[in-house]
Amino acid sequence: MRLLFMTAEYPPYVWGGLGRYSHEAVKAVRRFASVDVLNIPSYYRTMVVGESPAGHRLREDEDGLVIHALFDESLDLFRTDPHDLRRAVDDVFRCLSREILPHLAPRYDVIFAQDYYTAPLAVRLQLNGVGDKLAVMCHLPVYAGFTYFDKPHSDEVHQALEAAGVRLADIVLVPSEFAKRVLTMTHAVHPDRIHVIGEGVESVMPRDRQVVSPGSGQVVRILSVARLVEQKGWHYTIDSLSALRRMGVPFTFSLIGCGPQENQVRDLFRAADLDGVLQHIPRVDHGTVLSMYAEAHIFLSTALYETFGLTVLEAMSGGCIPVTFEIPPLVELIGEAGITVPVGDTEAIARSMASLATNHARRARLSGECRRRAARFTWDAHARALVTLMAEPG
Amino acid sequence: MTSKVQLVWYYHQPTVSTDAEVNDMVVTSLLPLLRAHAVTSRKFTIAITGVLVERLAEVAPSALGQLRALLESGVCELGGTTYHEAFPPFLPIRYLRRQLERDMTVKAAHLGDAPTFFHPTAFTWASSLASILPEFGFRRFVIDETHYTYATATQLWRWTVGHNAQLANTLQATMLDRRELHIPYRYRADESQSLTCFVRDFELVREFSLGSSGLIHRPLESEALDRFLEYVTRLEGGGGRLTLADDGDRITPVSLAAYQRVLHELPEDVFVTPRDASGEREEKELVYLPSFSIADHRDFWLADIDSVHYLRLLDEMYARGVPLELEDDLLELQDVFFLFWKTVPRKRYYLEKALTLWKRVCDVTPAPTRGATSDQDG
């Protein structure tokens, strides 16, 4: 099978999200199929390190993966007036045709588009005969307007782009049952056409170091990995840590992440007098993040909206116990292998973390359960499911 | 003088929603809302449709238990609604009554409460409601400020010229002092009974919570919320009642934190419910409330031919008369879902049910003869 993987972010510049998915999924799918990557950066492009705007970039990574990229400052669908959206998509496609098409393979079995930004362009490519089949992965279905408050443009544009992909794709994919529910609320798509394939981890990591022994006086290590945006509920993280400190539980807190609201989040930590426990690491390579999962006891996520929760899964694969709000996709992912508390109940988060800090037996049991559950979600299984689905006749 | 704040939330899930969707709503919105008020003891009002109350009894009985506890403690006042999310002005009076009757029965059975405050679907209003509401024990209701403006407009028409020299006219809006919206109004149902009418301040609602643009959707910014709190506590000519009522833009995990801050930072006695209205401030007289839909209005609801077709199907059933044993099916079809959601595939659920019911009605009820009038409105 020959597959064209279309994404708006490659390689990843954050630890979860679209870039991480694209990177890991491509790596895994290449075990079963021939893959080319087509990267059309959306508003993330200015953060793609080492690339400058204008024109086509073609490079081959160390594993021989061919990555085509289109950079043009003027091609920004998200800054488009909704009434001009079709014309804007036309403009991007013309540029795509001119700059990229001559460099692509003559024909692909499947065009696999990620999210709404690339979906309408993938539709054009299919209609122009570049690919036989079109698959669209809707990582973050647009519906609840509040989920997009960290994005600079209106839901109208997002939803119109999403609709273009959903209605014409031969295969519609989502990462969770929750995402499927959201998608079926808004689009003319029958639930039977939507396939749920959870994301994955490379493998379950060994956890041979018991980093905290039972008994009092031990310092519990708490880790959060997420972009510094409102959607991740940092104000609740701070309230939870403050409550934990009031309970007299000694802890350290590592935060891996950067984002547009970095200064605001840091100010909130300062205002709560939590500077002393905060270790903020804006950027670090993925391997280091994985080892930090294996060394931390608790993965704290106060995210207010997710459709899968890839960093939560990665933490679980390292035996790091997630403590989160009971938002539906995280309940679906975590199952019994972690603790979920009512949304907004920071005292309950603090109590849960205090309990894990002092109850060694529970911590050991949950840590083992995390690794067992994470083992069900591997990139290998994800890729096999994808390729099987894509190979099914019409 | 500090104003009073009346927080009125509205909850509904149509029957087409799956259990998982109802549960999503419960864990991300209803439970956080109930908990925020349980912790702070700040009063609020919740208008929750009867059909959702029944659904909660099956899907999330503990949420219903928490709501019941708040009602018993007096922290929460229950609002009456139509049983399904139905538009009063679109219903024959007989079915409007049935919607109310069914809603009251369900609320009494599951929540042990008989609401005296009525929250019409999406603030729509049928002029006949004024005489119907007292029959069910309602004493108070809420309208939107656009309805108030419309109801109090002068009879001066302004002629305007639009594209292609088309003439249009608009009713001149009354010169509105925003403090008018913070007064309870007395609306006479008949010679012997009157209702108290509250007007929701739409501008304030928009600033506070509407959609994703309101200030409670900006949890990392405190300045906007500071200004709101100051506005409430220092309102010029204070003593008014600010009604922040909602028609379905529920509390979310995002808006919760700022909402909690409002509850924590305003004094307990600021928060009131409709029941507290008597004696608080002298009511002014409101003479007439015409039927009204906040989404202007008819064009919005009847913009697509599919909705027209669906409503005609219902009209035909009204005209034929639906046997008692089939009435519940018809009530479900009056849910606004079909009209509001323009293209989603699950509209088929309603259309198929309507066609099935129509066939059953035809089987048992002969077609009305030409010139005969229906007694359905009686």
Interchain contact, A305 vs B254, CB within 8 Å: yes
Higher pLDDT pick, B125 / A155: B125
Find the mean pLDDT for residues A2-8: 94
CB contact under 8 A, A342 and B218: no
Is B4-153+180-286 a CATH 3.30.70.920 domain?
no
Question: What pLDDT is recorded for position A49?
Answer: 38
Q: Tell me if B217 and A325 make a contact (CB, 8 A cut-off).
A: no
| The pLDDT of residue A79 | 64
Q: From the list A190, A325, A328, which residue is nearest B24 (CB)? A: A328
For residue B377, is pLDDT > 50? no
Residue A191 has a pLDDT of: 82
Q: Contact at 8 Å (CB) between A148 and A161?
A: no
Which segments of B163-260 are extended strands (E)? Answer: 167-171, 185-188, 194-200, 241-245
pLDDT at B238: 61
Cβ separation of B345 and A261 shorter than 8 Å?
no
pLDDT higher than 70, residue A56? no
Give me the residue from A144, A186, A331 closest to B344, CB to CB: A186
Per-residue pLDDT at B376: 45
Per-residue pLDDT, B229? 85
Give the lowest-confidence range in B66-70, B229-233, B250-254.
Answer: B229-233
B27 closest CB neighbour out of A188, A230, A328: A328
Structural contact between residues A41 and A100, judged by C-beta atoms closer than 8 angstroms:
no
Total CB pairs under 8 A between chain A and B:
84
Cα gap B303→B306, rounded to integer Å? 9
Q: Decide if A233 touches B, using CB distance below 8 A.
A: yes
Mean pLDDT value across chain A: 85
Distance from CA of B187 to the nearest CA of A (A): 37
Pairwise CB contact (< 8 Å): B253 & A268:
no
Residue type, A250: P
Give the residue range(s) of CATH 3.40.50.2000 domains in chain A.
2-200+378-391, 220-374
What's the complex ipTM?
0.82
Average pLDDT over residues B296-311: 76
Domain ranges for chain B, please list them. Answer: 4-153+180-286, 302-364
* pLDDT tens figures, A176-221: 999 998 888 777 677 888 999 999 998 887 765 444 444 445 799 9
Q: Which segment of A64-68, A238-242, A381-385, B371-375 scores lowest on mean pLDDT?
A: B371-375
Nearest to A236 among B255, B257, B345 (CB): B257
Mean residue pLDDT across chain B: 86
Determine contact, residues B95/B334, Cβ cutoff 8 Å. yes
- Is A2-200+378-391 in CATH node 3.20.20.20? no
Q: Looking at the predicted structure, is the pLDDT value of residue A117 above 50?
A: yes
Q: Which residue has the higher pLDDT, A207 or A100?
A: A100
Q: What percent of chain B has pLDDT over 70?
A: 86
Torsions phi, psi of B141, nearest 5?
A: -155, 170
Considering CB atoms only, which of B35, B252, B346 is closest to A342?
B35
- Residues B222 and B214: their CA atoms lie apart, in Å, by 12
Given a cut of 80, whether residue B208 has pLDDT beyond it is yes
Partner residues linked to B46 by β-bridges: B9, B78
Rounded CA-CA distance B80/B115 in Å is: 5
As a whole number, mean pLDDT of residues B61-89 equals 97
Q: With an 8 Å Cβ cutoff, are B253 and A233 in contact? A: yes
pLDDT band for position B317 (50/70/90)?
Answer: very high
Contact B198, B6 (CB under 8 A): yes
Are the Cβ atoms of A328 and B21 closer than 8 angstroms? no
For helices B256-265 and B223-233, what crossing angle results, to 10°?
40
Asked if residues B178 and B198 have their Cβ atoms less than 8 Å apart, the reply is: no
A383 alpha-carbon distance from chain centroid: 16
pLDDT of residue B217: 78
- Residue of B239, B240, B232, B218 whose CA lies nearest to B266: B232
Rounded mean pLDDT, A238-253: 96
So what's the pLDDT on residue A217? 53
Q: How confident is the model at residue B279 (pLDDT cuts 50, 70, 90)?
A: low
Comparing B154 with B339, which gets the higher pLDDT? B339
- Rounded to an integer, the average pLDDT of A286-307 is 93
CATH of domain A220-374: 3.40.50.2000
Contact B246, B9 (CB under 8 A): yes
For residues B131 and B247, the model is more confident at B131
Residue A164 has a pLDDT of 81
pLDDT over threshold 80, residue A375: yes
Tell me which chain B residues have a C-beta less than 8 angstroms from the C-beta of A181. Answer: 18, 20-21, 24
pLDDT reading at B169 higher than 80 = no
Most confidently modeled of A65-79, A176-190, A377-391, B246-260?
Answer: A377-391
Higher pLDDT: A221 or A140? It is A221
Instruction: Give the model's pLDDT for residue A215.
Output: 46
